[in-house]
Chain A
């Protein structure tokens, strides 16, 4: 039980799309999914006023409600991870060996720019409500190789994993968004991630832009979205201790 249960009255004001730093804090949350049952979801104690918290081992992105700060920090976390990956990729020998006018170089450049754009947008918009800068763990990725062997991921394997994960994450996060403008923003980003994912998959194996591991190709043709818990089970393997994500508030 939190020592610092705070309630803020500001949830009653109209919610608006993603903004400058939120000045007031509210820790009243509800789990809305169970018919007729509500439960207070308490955020962890924090010395500062952010709905997100860092207890030293994990980074709690925050809870549903709270003007969408929880789900937006969740998105920001994933974009941090992707941006860090592509940025590091461009310092590795595989990328450096690509010819200047090759498709792959052009594509990997664009991917870095897009993910940095996403990250910087969330960082600016979240302001003082943003989670900290996360420390990635990319030891499983071989930045010298296009595709991997011996249990390590090559750069395209990792890119494919991150992009497919991002699509599944955004699709699975839509229901936690409470402000229409933020849903539109998430929508604007997820289709770009899907374009990324499709092309990287084609680079690895042509015409696998849609395949059974990510889309229900033999049933309804829908993407296989993931819950936040499912996403961070994967994402946390690429984050150092102290940066691992806690998404327990997204219910």
Chain B
């Protein structure tokens, strides 16, 4: 793209756009739908920031803004295609309650809308959005039959489907968190960062609901999955939040990387982490025990790990995502 024309566009922009601090959301919603000068205005202001690496912060800088958006787009395609495939199968939908079907359709719609949104954002930034072909994905984990399946019945067995869905959503939450710092632009005008945060929290809502559905069962009593308490095995009966590393997740051998440390581990700790902040790091377990009377060390430790989700680096997320992509495809190459 032409940086010179980009910035001449910004100069022509109605300064009202920058002045109306309470209109960020409107600006960014325009960016998704309308294009034109408002879209240009909604881009980060720092010269070349789209194409340069962001500040080195507490976590290692991993990518440019465009790279982060393209990465996010691949993950959204991965999810959107997954729900489309799963919900197109009556052996899945007939095994699930009405509310569970509603919930999954809500999630599918959100992911599809996220794809559209990110495509729009990347296009407005002057880049060509990646376009993973649905045929490139293989949710059994066999990578197109080149290895043994991890989840052979993922598209026919509702319990398996929900297990993979939980892993995908929990991964998405960690992925957005792990890349957020790369979207910083040292100004209070940052619609790209805000949009990423606004997707990130929706993925967390999804993750919460998926865990609730796995906890509640495919056809819960009175169709009230949320009324079912978590059991003793977090793999099969998880809370809606991540407790420790949840015993490795829904399928502990295959899904452990979703909950474990990334790389470097100091910046991307496992979900069991209970130390937060730096210089000095704070022991959340100890803080909880000091603040809540009668809380056992075990319960405090669990709560301390649950209260904070952990970021995951782009490379580790891509490795997780590759499990669900056929080798030799363009999409597999995108996740290299």
Contact B24 A113 (CB under 8 A): no
Which of A51-59, A133-141, A178-186 is found at the contact surface with chain B? A178-186
Determine the distance from Cα of A208 to Cα of B333 in the docked complex, in whole angstroms: 37
Contact of A210 with B113 at beta-carbon distance under 8 Å, contacts A117-B303, A194-B208 already known: no
Which of B126-134, B304-312, B318-326 sits within the interface? B304-312
Could you write out 23 A-B pairs with CB less than 8 Å apart?
A32-B187, A33-B21, A113-B295, A117-B287, A121-B276, A171-B197, A174-B193, A175-B190, A175-B193, A178-B184, A180-B56, A188-B311, A192-B241, A192-B307, A194-B201, A206-B224, A206-B226, A207-B99, A209-B103, A219-B113, A220-B29, A222-B202, A227-B22
* Chain B nearest Cβ from A110, distance in angstroms: 7
Q: Which of A1-9, A15-23, A42-50, A146-154 is the contact stretch?
A: A15-23
1/0 per residue, CB under 8 A from A, across B17-29: the answer is 0110110110001
Q: Number of B residues contacting the other chain (C-beta, 8 Å)?
A: 93
* B-side contacts of A209, CB under 8 Å: 103, 106, 205-206, 208-209, 212
Chain A residues engaging chain B, CB cutoff 8 angstroms: 16-20, 31-35, 64, 101-104, 106-107, 110, 112-114, 116-121, 124-125, 167, 170-172, 174-181, 183-185, 187-199, 202-203, 206-207, 209-210, 215-217, 219-225, 227, 229-230, 251
- In B60-84, the 8 Å CB interface with A consists of none
Contacts of B191-211 to chain A: CB distance below 8 A = 193-195, 197-209
- Closest CB of chain A to B111's CB: distance in Å? 7
Asked if A117 and B181 sit within 8 Å, CB to CB, the answer is no
Stretch at the interface among B155-163, B256-264, B278-286: B278-286
**Contact indicator B110/A221 (Cβ below 8 Å):** yes
Cα–Cα distance between A187 and B197 once the two chains are bound (Å): 8
Residues of the A chain whose Cβ atoms lie less than 8 Å from the Cβ of B112? 221
Main secondary structure of the interface of A (DSSP, over half): helix
Least Cβ–Cβ distance between B217 and chain A, in angstroms = 13
Taken together as a complex, chains A and B put the C-alpha atoms of A114 and B205 apart, in Å, by 16
Chain A residues within an 8 Å CB radius of B59: 180-181, 184
Question: For the complex, what is the distance from the CA of A103 to the CA of B229, rounded to whole Å?
Answer: 4
Chain A residue at minimal CB-CB distance from B103: A207
A220 to chain B, nearest CB (A): 4
Chain A residues near B89: list those with CB within 8 A: none
Question: Which residues from chain B contact A189 at a C-beta distance below 8 Å?
Answer: 307-308
Q: When the two chains form their complex, are residues B212 and A199 in contact, meaning their CB atoms are under 8 A apart?
A: yes
Interface residue? B15 (CB, 8 A): yes
Of all A-B residue pairs in the complex, the 5 with the closest CB atoms, nearest first, are: A180-B57, A181-B58, A221-B113, A194-B204, A113-B303
Q: Which residues of A contact B18 (CB under 8 A)?
A: 33-35
Report the bound CA distance from A202 to B216 in whole Å: 12
B236: interface (CB < 8 Å): no
Nearest B residue to A167 by beta-carbon distance? B201
Bound CA span A107–B227, Å: 10
Set of chain A residues within 8 Å of B208, measured between Cβ atoms: 194-199, 209
Measured CB to CB, the nearest residue on chain B to A215 is B202
- Check A103 against B227 for contact (C-beta < 8 Å): yes
Report Cα–Cα, A72/B188, bound state, in Å.
Answer: 15
> Would you give the shortest CB distance from B109 to chain A, in whole angstroms?
7
A219 / chain B contacts, CB cutoff of 8 Å: 29, 32-33, 113
Question: Measured between C-beta atoms, what is the minimum distance from B167 to chain A in Å?
Answer: 15
Could you tell me if B204 and A195 are in contact, using CB atoms closer than 8 angstroms? yes
Residues of B within 8 A of A183 (CB): 57, 180-181, 184
Q: Which residues of B contact A251 (CB under 8 A)?
A: 21, 188
Known: A121-B282, A220-B116. 4 other contacts (CB 8 A): A188-B308, A191-B203, A221-B109, A222-B202
Q: Which of B102, B180, B195, B207 contacts A207 (CB 8 A)?
A: B102
Chain A residue numbers with a CB within 8 Å of B100 are 207
A172-B194, A217-B106 as given contacts; A223 in contact with B201, CB under 8 Å:
yes
Asked if B9 CB lies within 8 Å of chain A CBs, one says no
Given A187-B200, A220-B32: A178 in contact with B240 (beta carbons within 8 A)? no
Contact A227 B180 (CB under 8 A): no
Q: Which of B1-52 contact A (CB under 8 A)?
A: 10, 15, 18-19, 21-22, 24-25, 29, 32-33, 45
Asked if A16 meets B282 with Cβ closer than 8 Å, knowing A32-B187, A190-B201, the reply is no
Contacts A16-B278, A17-B279: A120 and B194 contacting too (C-beta < 8 A)? no
Which of B29, B117, B209 contacts A198, CB < 8 Å?
Answer: B209
**Set of chain A residues within 8 Å of B25, measured between Cβ atoms:** 224-225
Q: How far is the CB of A130 from chain B (nearest CB, A)?
A: 13
User: What residues on B are CB-neighbors of A180 within 8 Å?
Assistant: 55-59, 181, 184
Q: Contacts of A178 on B, CB cut-off 8 Å?
A: 184, 186
B328 lies within 8 A of chain A by Cβ: no
Pairwise interchain contact A222-B15, C-beta atoms closer than 8 A: no
